[in-house]
Amino acid sequence: MQKLPVNAIYAQSGGVTSVINASACGVIETARRYSDRIGTVYAAHNGILGVLNEDLIDTQYETEATISALRQTPGGAFGSSRYVLHSQQHDPAAYTRLIDVFKAHNIGYFFYNGGNGSADTCEKIAAISHDMGYPIQAIHIPKTIDNDIIGTDCCPGFGSVAKYVATATRETGHDIASMASSSTKVFILEVMGRNAGWIAAASALAQQNQEQPPHIILFPEVAFNLEKFIASVNLVVARHGFCCVVASEGVCDENGRFLSASDSADEAGDHQLGGVGPKLAKLVIAHTGLKTHYAVADYLQRAARHMASATDVAQAYQVGVHAVEAALNGVNGAMVNIVRDSDEPYRWHCETIGLEGIATLERKLPANFISEDGMHITAEARRYLQPLIIGEDFGVYDKRGLPAYAELKGIMANKKLPIWVANK
């Protein structure tokens, strides 16, 4: 006798990207093609918190056109969160609650779209499914602008940020060059990247030759040396009349201390970064007297869907597709990963790998991607990075000349359980 279809939950986690909704689109569109095996796809409102709170958006009420429009919509359409699901020993009630929600809504598949932390959550859910005797197939769908998840050639979300930062670097380079004789001599662009310098490295793609901006790149992987930095700035200004610097927010001194970090920490224990741009600008002014400006890309870099890489959009969509297909083929406790087949032409495909160890390891910029002086990238880095920003995917614009994004009905599924109270 044919088994009745079971339902699925899709959830978004952590800092969002300009293409995370393309993965959501891939999941939902693919699940609809297999309606004989997957019933309703619920989207958890605000990540794993949406599951625990039983706040589930019923996507069957969304039209095909709306789901398709997710592919070009930035941010997290269903809401994301940085809530940390602790170990079962620490908070057994949370795991009991998850299973209760899964049972109440006949959930057989759980797709979690996020970074390292969501990989850990997905692995835990796959484990408790077995331990608590309720079958759930948990698949992690990778996403992070930081490009720091191991086991995959690249992370959906990174290619578009790389394209944005490289473009911004090239454009501001032209701006500063045109005014340098009588105005700003040094420009500093602060980009995201706590422990890994992938985004800062991507700014070098702006160069058509080594004389062009960015003239100096500061990576978290290389200890900041003030004397060396100031000397380099002076040398570049003397040679070109101006200097463009790209600095990762996670730049540290020789003792591993962030140049700029707040005192407050998030759920994961990470201190909020930001402010290395203005700090560096003050240092340059104090030690050189040169007129200096800075900009902090902040959320602009990860929200810029208008600057999305076509390669990145295609990969974000395909990891969603592959997650559903893998689950239907019996895969559990795994992450969809991107495998690079060749650099030129750039070819890739998706596979799945086990989740063990993924959450605890962080892929930093390899040493052979950083130049000997510690302030530029190598040819190896350029070969890796270049294909990830190729192509444009502008999407549809409305009559006002602005991007047209998905507008969800957001109809919630009926709640069947008591209100959940978090363990304090």
Q: Do residues 104 and 42 make contact, with C-beta atoms less than 8 angstroms apart?
A: no
Residue 316 corresponds to which tokens in the numbers above?
A: 């974000």
At position 234, the amino acid (one-letter code) is N
Indicate if the alpha-carbon torsion angle 321, 325, 328, 333 is positive or negative. negative
At position 11, the amino acid (one-letter code) is A
CA dihedral 341, 384, 144, 194 (to 10 degrees): 150
CA distances from 183 to 216, 233, 243, 418 (A): 20, 16, 12, 64
Strand 271-273 relative to strand 261-265: parallel, antiparallel, unpaired?
antiparallel
Q: Which residue has the tokens 């569109």?
A: 29
Q: Do residues 41 and 142 make contact, with C-beta atoms less than 8 angstroms apart?
A: no
CA distances from 98 to 24, 45, 93, 248, 411 (A): 21, 14, 9, 38, 21
In the residue annotation, 175 being an active-site residue is answered as no
- In 3D space, the residue among 224, 183, 163, 167 whose CA is nearest the CA of residue 17 turns out to be 163
Q: Which of 55, 120, 146, 393 is catalytic?
A: 146
Q: Please compute, for residue 202, the number of CA atoms within 13 A of its CA located in the half-sphere on the CB side.
A: 31
Q: How crowded is residue 198: how many other Cβ atoms within 10 Å of its Cβ?
A: 30
- In 3D space, the residue among 263, 299, 260, 250 whose CA is nearest the CA of residue 283 turns out to be 260
CA 10, CA 45: separation in Å to the nearest integer? 9
SS3 7: strand
- In 3D space, the residue among 61, 56, 80 whose CA is nearest the CA of residue 143 turns out to be 80
Q: What are the catalytic residues?
A: 146
